[in-house]
DNA sequence: TTGAAAGCGCTAACAG
DNA sequence: CTGTTAGCGCTTTCAA
């Protein structure tokens, strides 16, 4: 009991070589399948390796080669269906290319993101995919990029960081959605969004310098209102974090406004769920009293009554493309950094309709 | 352009030592904070490290120490909300203890699981959490365990593998759920479940040798029926993989049986969603025509109409406990392997009620 | 309190 | 075709 029990795959290439009666180099060549080895030697090595249950030591290999065959993923929250699906696409492509994926949740906390990036650098990941938690303290991303680490930004941009970005056209998707509601006759359209930089963007003077998903979606919202000559009402724009109960509370506040909106635009599926819960709490009906529309085609969107109209993002493809970009950059196929804008899909279901004809100033019962 | 751009954190401890005018050993001691270093030396080293933006090379450290500070997670499908939440709990505790988490999806494919375990061993992870995709070809888990790698089984057992297991009492939870339906008057109770080992277990003669979540749930289902003197009907037990459309199709088949069940028990939230979709397709109402109950308290369970009654698993705690067990085992606090059975919670909502009084042999319209 | 030196297991010239 | 050799960057005795 005096050794550590952590002697998994205790056989080294040295042991294999000795058992096969060859040198370490020959054993290495036979095992990793490079260089030239005679058939008999290779067979003896492979047999010895099987016999000893040899596992190559990936750590030693990484140390020597400088590559870890590992990709780091820094996501906001793996519990959010959007990120879970994106990661699924990402890991599939990564694995198909021989890369493992290390995962880190930031919970939208820039500090957590910073330390995750640092740890990943120390681990010598070969590339990094990040959904940046903020615009502001991004020095760590610049530094990592400057140090030569391939980075892909997923879902969100960072100003001035010249790397590949995979996202959708959030401004356009939001604008078109709001235009759609306006065409139906709505003029009192509220928006429930995540916290990301909202505090900044709501008060920002120069919106078109904006980045970050929420900021873009807010901009699209405002553009549509502007074009229709509808005044922007700050009290119609609420921010919740990405947790269901927070969304529900904010939504309820929205629905209890004296001048209640006739439509609510939720920027993700958790917020949408919060809106639906709040509508029930308050006793309002969709779409007769309030129309609802949201980003992301959650698996339940077609099961709730009425079906939720959504802007579907190509979640898997966003993950897959991110992985492909990272892999090709790691392989040195260095194209100039590009912003990849994927297409969204509008899925019209039953949760939107014309606004109620008569304004009701008070809530039912 | 002749060097690789992959020179992140190019400064080594050697560079830091030289810049600080000390030896590598002293620099190492100062940086990692062990041994004894004079105050001035430490200060010079730290300053030099900051100046050079030094990042310790974790790969080299792992090579030397034999520890990677990394935990491997082999899960069936990160897109499934259950696993996503479990992983959230797991990564939180792992990170709090200084471990990174490497993730691998198996998609319920034993081959993928096997190669994932192999890769993790090669990467020299310090511990492994696994939701085994099958009972059968588990040689790789035995081998890894025998080689001294700490392993925790999550959600599912494997016969004879003497390691910590974190799960709920699936037999009991299923039995009580079915008993509840029987108490309401149901006698025609169907079950929609995942593929895991169902093919085996449905035809197995010796069910109580069973493992695997689905098998246990099936057993609980059968025990409840037996106790009530209700015959087991194979046509009432359908298996779908964990994808929504497959679940929907199987559920529809169930609902189109001539002798339609009056209640459906779904073993996870995706299957539950499939049942709800199928009910709508077929034009049946919950709970008047059919009662529905499922495992896992999905975030939408309270938003659909009527609210879905569920058996809630302590998802975060399952992940957190798995991580705690792994960490303490890695630290050598070796308790005997234990099976940790966590409590479920029955959340009664509106999706269950008494069966319809009159049997309808044909479907509406 | 510090430095020299050895070595973790592997890969990759290079020489044979 | 095969073996020798020299490290990758770090930690850790062991002497000084």
Question: Could B79 and A78 be called an inter-chain contact, meaning their C-beta atoms sit closer than 8 Å?
Answer: no
Measured to protein CB atoms, the chain D nucleotides within 7 Å are 1-5, 7-13
**Are B306 and B287 a contacting pair, CB within 8 Å?**
yes
- Residue B249 has a pLDDT of 96
Q: From first to last of its 365 residues, what are the pLDDT tens digits of chain B? A: 223 334 445 789 999 999 999 999 999 999 988 778 888 889 999 999 999 989 899 999 999 998 999 999 999 889 999 999 999 999 999 999 999 999 988 888 888 899 899 989 988 999 999 998 877 656 889 989 988 899 999 999 888 889 999 999 999 999 999 999 999 999 999 999 976 544 444 444 333 333 478 889 999 999 999 999 999 999 999 998 778 999 999 999 999 999 999 999 999 999 999 999 999 999 999 999 999 999 999 999 999 999 999 999 999 999 999 999 999 999 988 789 999 999 999 999 999 999 997 444 444 54
B104 SS3 class: strand
Residues B80 and B246: their CA atoms lie apart, in Å, by 15
- Residue B212 has a pLDDT of 75
Nearest C-alpha neighbor of A305 from the set B156, B280, B216: B280
Q: Rounded mean pLDDT of A261-269?
A: 96
Angle between helices A13-20 and A24-32 in degrees, nearest 10: 100
Q: Which residue has the tokens 């928006």?
A: A191
In this predicted model, which residue has the larger pLDDT, A26 or B139? A26
Distances (CA, A) of B237 to B14, B168, B192, B202, B233: 66, 22, 6, 9, 7
Is the pLDDT reported for residue A210 higher than 60? no
Nucleic strand C near CB of residue A28 (< 7 Å): yes
Continuous H helices in A165-243: 170-183, 198-203, 213-227
Q: Rounded mean pLDDT of A78-98?
A: 94
Q: Which residue has the tokens 């709508």?
A: B280
pTM score, whole prediction: 0.89
Q: Rounded mean pLDDT of A228-248?
A: 92
Angle between helices B315-330 and B81-96 in degrees, nearest 10: 40
Chain A residues 7-36 within 7 Å (CB) of strand D: 22-26, 29, 35-36
Nearest C-alpha neighbor of A184 from the set A349, A351, A355, A309: A355
Measured to protein CB atoms, the chain C nucleotides within 7 Å are 1-5, 7-13
**Are A122 and B58 a contacting pair, CB within 8 Å?**
yes
- Residue A358 has a pLDDT of 47
- Residue A361 has a pLDDT of 45
Q: Which residue has the tokens 């990394």?
A: B70
pLDDT tens digits along A36-74: 888 888 899 999 999 998 989 999 999 999 899 999 999
In this predicted model, which residue has the larger pLDDT, A192 or B33? A192
Residues B228 and B182: their CA atoms lie apart, in Å, by 8
Q: Is A124 left (phi over 0), alpha (psi -120 to 50) or beta?
A: left
User: Which residues neighbour B3 within 8 Å (Cβ) at sequence distance 6 or greater?
Assistant: none
Instruction: Give nearest nucleotide to B10 (CA–C1').
Output: D9
Q: Which of B9, B116, B334 best tests the A interface by mutation, with the highest count of A CBs <10 A?
A: B9
Residues A33 and A36: their CA atoms lie apart, in Å, by 8
Spell out which residues of chain A touch residue B87, defining contact as CB-CB under 8 Å.
78, 103
The integer distance in angstroms from the CA atom of A261 to the C1' atom of C13 is 73
- Residue B357 has a pLDDT of 74
In this complex, the residue with its CA at the shortest distance from the C1' of nucleotide D13 is B25
To the nearest whole angstrom, how far is the Cα of B73 from the nearest Cα of chain A? Answer: 10
Instruction: Give nearest nucleotide to B63 (CA–C1').
Output: C8
- Residue B202 has a pLDDT of 43
Nucleic strand C near CB of residue A69 (< 7 Å): no
To the nearest whole angstrom, how far is the Cα of A76 from the nearest Cα of chain B? Answer: 11
Residues A256 and A240: their CA atoms lie apart, in Å, by 16
Question: Could B121 and A87 be called an inter-chain contact, meaning their C-beta atoms sit closer than 8 Å?
Answer: no
Question: Could B273 and A332 be called an inter-chain contact, meaning their C-beta atoms sit closer than 8 Å?
Answer: no
- Residue B72 has a pLDDT of 94
- Residue B214 has a pLDDT of 87
- Share the mean pLDDT of chain A: 88
Sheet harboring A189-193: ordered strands across? A237-239, A189-193, A263-266, A291-295, A309-312, A345-347
Could you say which DSSP state residue B353 is in? -
- Residue B22 has a pLDDT of 92
Q: Rounded mean pLDDT of A294-300?
A: 95
Residues B29 and B50: their CA atoms lie apart, in Å, by 16
pLDDT category, A160, cuts 50, 70, 90? confident
Q: Rounded mean pLDDT of A154-158?
A: 90
Nucleic strand C near CB of residue A12 (< 7 Å): yes
To the nearest whole angstrom, how far is the Cα of B81 from the nearest Cα of chain A? Answer: 7
């Amino acid at each position: 009991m005096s050794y550590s029990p952590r002697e998994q795959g205790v056989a080294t290439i040295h042991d294999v070589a000795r058992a096969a009666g060859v040198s370490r180099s020959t054993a290495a060549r036979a095992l990793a399948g490079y260089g030239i080895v005679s058939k008999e030697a290779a067979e003896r090595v492979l047999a010895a390796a099987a016999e000893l249950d040899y596992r190559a030591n990936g750590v030693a290999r990484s140390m020597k080669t400088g590559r870890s065959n590992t990709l780091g993923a820094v996501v906001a929250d793996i519990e959010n269906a959007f990120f879970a699906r994106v990661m699924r696409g990402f890991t599939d492509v990564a694995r198909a290319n021989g890369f493992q994926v290390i995962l880190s949740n930031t919970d939208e906390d820039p500090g957590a993101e910073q330390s995750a990036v640092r740890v990943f650098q120390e681990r010598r990941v070969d590339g990094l995919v990040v959904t940046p938690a903020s615009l502001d303290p991004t020095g760590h991303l610049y530094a990592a990029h400057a140090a030569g680490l391939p980075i892909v930004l997923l879902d969100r941009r960072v100003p001035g960081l010249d790397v590949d970005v995979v996202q959708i056209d959030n401004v356009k998707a939001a604008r078109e959605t709001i235009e759609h509601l306006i065409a139906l006759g709505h003029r009192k359209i509220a928006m429930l969004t995540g916290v990301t930089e909202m505090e900044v963007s709501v008060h920002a003077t120069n919106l078109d310098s904006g980045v970050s998903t929420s900021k873009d979606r807010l901009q699209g919202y405002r553009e549509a209102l502007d074009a229709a000559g509808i005044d922007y009402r700050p009290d119609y724009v609420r921010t919740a974090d990405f947790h269901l109960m927070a969304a529900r509370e904010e939504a309820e506040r929205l629905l209890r406004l004296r001048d209640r909106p006739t439509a609510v635009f939720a920027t993700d599926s958790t917020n949408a769920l919060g809106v639906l819960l709040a509508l029930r709490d308050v006793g309002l009906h969709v779409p007769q009293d309030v129309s609802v529309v949201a980003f992301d085609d959650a698996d339940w969107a077609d099961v709730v009554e009425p079906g939720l109209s959504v802007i579907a993002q190509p979640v898997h493809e966003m993950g897959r493309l991110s992985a492909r970009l990272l892999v090709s950059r790691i392989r040195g196929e260095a194209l100039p950094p590009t912003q990849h804008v994927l297409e969204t899909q509008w899925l019209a279901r039953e949760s939107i309709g014309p606004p109620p004809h008569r304004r009701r100033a008070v809530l039912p019962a």
